[in-house]
Chains A and B, each alone.
Chain A
Amino acid sequence: MKNIFMILTSLMVLISCSKKFTFIVPQKPGGGTSIWATIVAEELEKKLGEKIIIRHIPGARDQIGFEKFHKTLRFDDYMIMVSHGGNAVSFLQENVIYDYADYDVIAIMHNNIIVSRDKNLNWQSNVLIYSLHSGTVPESLALALLIDGHNAPKNWKKRTILIKGMSQSENRLAFRRREVNITRENPAAHLKHVQGVEHAEIFFNHGLYNPLTGKFDKDPNFPDSFTMEELYKKKWGESSSGSLYNAYKMVKAWRDGIQKALWVNKGNPNRDRLRKAVTDMLNDPEARIRLQKKLGKYPWDIGENAVYYVKALYRLLNRDAMQTLVKFNREQLGLDSYYNEKRVQKKN
C-alpha cells in the first residue's frame, strides 16, 4: 500500500512539474487576439524560461472561452486569460458572467481608434454612412454627440445610415469605393489601410485615457488631429458632458484602455513572476523593438500600474452611464443590449 502511495505521489509530482503556462484565447486561431497572444508568448517565454502553450477556446463570440476560464480554468495557477477590447464592450452591455474584478491583471496594452471620413463629406450637414456593429458603439456615441450636442440623439436617425453586417475588410473596401463615408481603424491599420486613400482624411480620434486625470490625452502619434472632445468644443463652444457623454467616455475607455490584457485568478502564486517576466520583456530593447514592429507602438501598463488603470476604469462604471449606453444601443442603433445591475452593485 505504501509503495502504491509513493508511486502515485511521484506521478503527481511529475505531472505537476510538467505543467506549462497556458494562454487561453477565446477565439479561433488566426484572429487578431490569437496572433497577439502568439507574438507575446514567443517573447515572454524567453524571459519566463518556460514554454507557453496557446489554447484556443472559441465560440459564442468569445463567451465560451471566457466563461470556461471564469468557472474552472482560472483556478489552475498556470492558466492566463488573454482578453481584447471587444470583451470589455461585451462586459458593459451584454449578459456575460465574467468580471475583471475577480482577476489579477498581469499587463495591459492600450490602444486608440482613429476615425476617418471622406474629404467631400460635410459632416455638419450630410448624411453619415458607416459600418455598425457592437465594436463601433463608441464611434456611434461620439458621432451622436457631434451631431446633436447635449440634445443627442435628436437628429441621429435622420443624419445617419448604419450599415450592419460588414466585416472590417468589407468596410475597408466599401470606404475605398465610397459606399460608406466614415471608417475607423486602430493606428497601425489606419496607417496601412486609410492613410494612402486619396479621398480620406482623419475626422477625429478618441485619445488615450489617463487614469490620473480621468481625461483623454492627445495621442502623440496623431498630434495634428482632433480628439472627439476638441471637435465637440469647436462645434458647440463648450465641453462635452451629460449622460450620453459619460456613456461614451466609459465604453471607449474600457474598449481601448484594455485593448489587449493578460489576467490570472486573484491570488495566483505565479502572478508576480509573470509580471516580472512582462517587465523584463518590455525593458529588453531588442524584444521591445520586435514587439513594436509586430504589434504597433502602443503603451503598456504592468503590475501595479495596470491594477491602478483597471481600478480607474471601474470608477467610470455608474448606473446612469450604463443605462444610457444600453438605451442608446437598443433605441438608436437597433442592437441587442443588456443592462447588468450587478456590475454597478459589485463596483460599489
Chain B
Amino acid sequence: MEEIIVLLLGITYGLIIGIIPVVGATTGLVALYPFIGYFSHNPYLGVVFCVAVVAASTTGDTFSGILLGIPGANSAAATMVDGFPLALKGKAAYALSAAFTVSTSNGLLWGSLTFLLLPLYAKIILKFGIPELFAFALLAFASVGFVSSKYWFRSLIAIIIGILIGLVGIDVNASPRWTFGWDYLLDGVQLIPVVVGLFAVPELLDGLRKRMKTTAIKAKDFKNQTFEGIKAGYKHWRFSLLGGFIGSIIGILPGLGGAIADWLAYGQTVAMNPSETFGNGNIKGVIGCEGANNAQKASSFIPTVLFGIPGAPFAAVLISLFMYLNIEMGSIELANDTRFFNYLSFSFLVATFLTGIICIFLCRFIAKISVVPYKHYFPVLMALVIWASMQYTGGWEDFVILLIMCIIGIAAKQLKFSRPSLLIGFILAERIEKLSLQTFKLYNLSDLFRRPIFMVLIIFITLIIVTGLKNRNRLEYN
C-alpha cells in the first residue's frame, strides 16, 4: 500500500514538473535533494518515487509543447514543431491524445524489454573488465561530443571544461588538486550545483523570457478529438515503433539525452514521408518523436544501473540521489538485488501506464496547469533548486560554487556549447582518469587487442567520431 501511495505522489509531482514549461525531469529531480532523506528508512520507496517522477514528467512535458509552443523539457521540443500548429488549429486534444497514446505504448513496450530483462543483463557486468569500462566511458564522450550537438568542436571544449571541473579535489595519490588552498574543494565540486547551474537556472530564466501564446482545449471537441488521437496513434504504428526503436538505442548510448532521440525520430519520420508537409500540424510529426521519448528514458537505465554511467543528464542526478539512499549504481550488490529491479520495473511501468491514462482522459483539466502564469511558479522552483544546491554544507561556499556554475551554464547556453557534454565530462572526469591509469597498469596493448568487447567498443567509438565529423547537417538538439 505504501508503495502505491508513494507511486501516486511521484506521478503527481512528475506530472506537475513535466507540465511546467522548460522544467523537465532533471530539474524536477534536483529539487528532490532536500527531501530524499525521508526515504532512508526504506530506500526502495525512494526508488519508486524518483522513477515515477521520471516516467510521469516524460509524458507530462508534452502538454506545454503542444499547448504553449514551449517544451516542458528539451525532449519535447520536437513534438512542438507539429503539435503546436495543430493546437492553434483547434486540434489540441487530438495532438495530445495521439502523443500520449504513442509515448505510453512505447514506454510500456521498451520499458518492459529493458526492466524485465535487466537482471539478465547483470551477468554482462562480469564480462566488462576495467578496459571495457574505460572504453564505455570514452563512448560516452564520443556520443555526447560528436552526435548530440551540431557544434562538435564546442562540445569537445565543453567536455574538457567539464573534466577540468570534475578533477578538482583529491587525486589518486591523496594529494589536493586544483583546490587553491580552499579546503571546501577537497571533496571536489558537487554534482547538484553543477546540474542546477548548467541546466535548471538557465532554463528557468529562459522560461521568464519566452512569450507564451496560449491555446486551450474546447469542451465540445474534447471527446471526439481524444478518440481520433488514440486512433491516429495506432494507425501510424510504424512511425511510433520506429521512434521507440530509435529512442531505445539512443538511451543505451551513455550520456545522450531525450532531445537527440526525439529529433532523430522526427527526422526519420519526415524522411519516410517525402510527399507530405511537416511543421504545419502533421500528426505523424507528433507520433514519430513521441515514440522515442519514453523509450529513451527507459533504456537510459541500462548503462546507468549496470555501469553507473549515466544514460542521460536526468540519470546523473538519479545516480546521485540513489547514493543518498545507499544504492550504488553499477555495483555488484545492486546487480544481485532483485528487490531493486522489481521496484524499478514496477514503478516505471505502472507510472507510465497510469500517467498515460490520466493524461489522455483528464487532459482537458490538467491542461489548465500549463496556462498558470509562469511568474507564479518561477520563484518556488528557483528557491527549491537553490535550496537543493545548498544541501552539501549549507555554507556560503555552496552558494559561490552555484554562482560560478550558473555563469558557466548561462554562457554555455548563449554560446551554444553543449551543456550535456560539459556535465558528462564533469561526471566521468575522475572515473576516466582512474580507469585509464588502471587499464594501462594492468594491461599492455597486445592484451587489449585480445579483448573482443573492448575492441568492438573502440571500433564503435571510431565510427561515431568519423560519422560525426562527416555529417554537417544536423539539427541543433541542445
Q: Show the binding face of A for B, using Cβ within 8 Å.
A: 28-31, 35, 38, 57-61, 63-64, 129, 133-134, 161, 163-167, 169, 172-174, 176-177, 179, 192-193, 334-337
Contacts and interface: CB of A to CB of B under 8 A. Distances in A.
B30 to A, nearest CB: 16
Nearest to A192: B333
Nearest to B326: A30
A122 to B, nearest CB: 19
A336 B175 CA distance: 5
Interface of B: 36-37, 40, 125-126, 129-130, 170, 172-175, 183-187, 323-326, 328, 330-333, 392-393, 430, 433-434, 437-438, 441-442
Nearest to B430: A165
B433 A29 contact: no
Interface centre among B173, B187, B324, B434, by most chain A C-beta atoms within 10 angstroms, is B173
Contact of A164 (B185, B330, B434): B434
Main SS of the interface on chain A? loop
A53 B36 CA distance: 16
A133 B330 CA distance: 20
Contacts of B331: 169, 172-173
A36 to B, nearest CB: 11
B332 A163 contact: no
A167 B330 CA distance: 11
A164 B435 CA distance: 9
Contacts of B430: 165
Nearest to A165: B434
Contacts of A129: 442
Given A134-B174, A164-B172, A173-B125, 18 more contacts: A29-B324, A58-B187, A60-B183, A60-B187, A61-B170, A61-B186, A61-B187, A129-B442, A133-B174, A163-B438, A165-B434, A169-B331, A169-B333, A172-B333, A176-B332, A179-B442, A193-B332, A336-B175
A59 B326 contact: no
Given A38-B40, A177-B129, A179-B130, A166 B175 contact: no
B183 A334 contact: no
Contact of A172 (B323, B332, B392, B442): B332
Given A176-B126, A177-B129, A165 B433 contact: yes
A179 B127 CA distance: 12
B441 A29 contact: no
27 contacts: A29-B37, A29-B40, A29-B324, A31-B326, A57-B393, A58-B392, A60-B184, A60-B187, A61-B187, A63-B183, A63-B186, A64-B183, A64-B184, A64-B393, A129-B442, A134-B174, A163-B441, A163-B442, A164-B172, A164-B437, A165-B437, A173-B331, A177-B126, A179-B130, A193-B332, A335-B173, A336-B175
A283 B103 CA distance: 58
Contacts of A164: 172-173, 434, 437-438
Given A58-B392, A169-B328, A161 B442 contact: yes
Nearest to A133: B174
